A and B are shown apart, each in its own frame.
Chain A
């Protein structure tokens, strides 16, 4: 089963990289892009019986390692249909 973990800086935390990317987009003429927040994306292949179990394991991984709770939060999506599919 595949879990996708999206790690982003908390809204209250300044994102110097995202700000720089936004400035670069403005230089390219994309004035419509008002703000950019940069984050991290993880795909976890998890040997789990149910989506709930996969989600629980992914959440533990995020709490312990993938995200730093001082500055980051995360969101998890579980893709149940990928069970048994070739990578």
Chain B
């Protein structure tokens, strides 16, 4: 199966995602330039981290108008699995593929550290290989990861079980202290109503080998392989 890793001007985790998919997971992977209009037959699309278009105006605000985003939207509309990591999550929010927006971190600092996230739901293409309640040690690196949505929207997200990852302690408790950026309800990642589009601020692709501190993120990418292999969330890119 094939992963497409979208490259915007300013993406800087595109190679991390490519490496994790290609060399750790052993899957086919291809970079797709933001001005391309086709996803080149990919089974899974990753919008990587970084600073697309310099984060000018707002994070993700310019990237959502890149030509490739029309193909990503079509792919998502027909059920294709799309994963937005960090800046990729911010792009999905600006594009309206996921609800809500990002504010500056509560600390007003760029937070770069390992955090713990708890897997809340396993019925998405990026969590299906996880155990519900599993706690993953994954790094974050962002200045604007303070997830916000109106209270009614947050309530709907919770009711629909769209919160997929939540910041917790190592023991899995969603406390205020375990929340690195001020996100409402400790939300670290969520999915679309159709559950095939997932965005998260932590970087699973940077936690795929013990040599670099944690391999806990691998299960997120393995989920995509498992999901596509068994035919769930399949679409032709």
Contact = CB atoms under 8 A, between A and B. Distances in A.
Interface in B121-169: 146, 148-150
Interface stretch (A11-19, A27-35, A44-52, A75-83): A11-19
A16 B108 contact: yes
B182 interface: yes
Given A70-B148, A70-B149, A13 B61 contact: no
A65 B56 CA distance: 11
Contacts of A14: 103, 106, 148, 182
A71 B101 contact: yes
B61 A65 contact: yes
B57 A13 contact: no
A75 B84 CA distance: 32
Nearest to B104: A16
A21 to B, nearest CB: 10
B104 A13 contact: no
Interface residues of B, number: 19
Contacts of A9: 103
B2 interface: no
A20 B148 contact: no
B73 interface: no
Contacts of A66: 57
A70 B100 contact: yes
A20 B182 CA distance: 15
Interface string B86-128: 0000000110000111011111100000000000000000000
A20 B104 CA distance: 11
B58 interface: yes
Interface string A50-77: 0000000000000001101011000000
A70 B103 contact: no
Contact of A71 (B103, B105, B107, B108): B103
B184 to A, nearest CB: 10
Contacts of A20: 108
Contacts of B101: 68, 70-71
A65 B63 CA distance: 11
Contacts of B150: 12, 70
A71 B93 CA distance: 12
B94 A17 contact: no
Interface string B43-75: 000000000000001100100000000000000
A71 to B, nearest CB: 5
Given A14-B103, A14-B106, A70-B101, 13 more contacts: A9-B103, A12-B150, A14-B182, A15-B103, A16-B106, A16-B107, A17-B104, A17-B108, A65-B57, A68-B58, A68-B101, A70-B100, A71-B148
Interface of A: 9, 12-17, 20, 65-66, 68, 70-71
The 9 closest A-B pairs by CB, nearest first: A70-B101, A16-B104, A71-B101, A20-B108, A16-B108, A68-B101, A17-B104, A16-B106, A68-B58
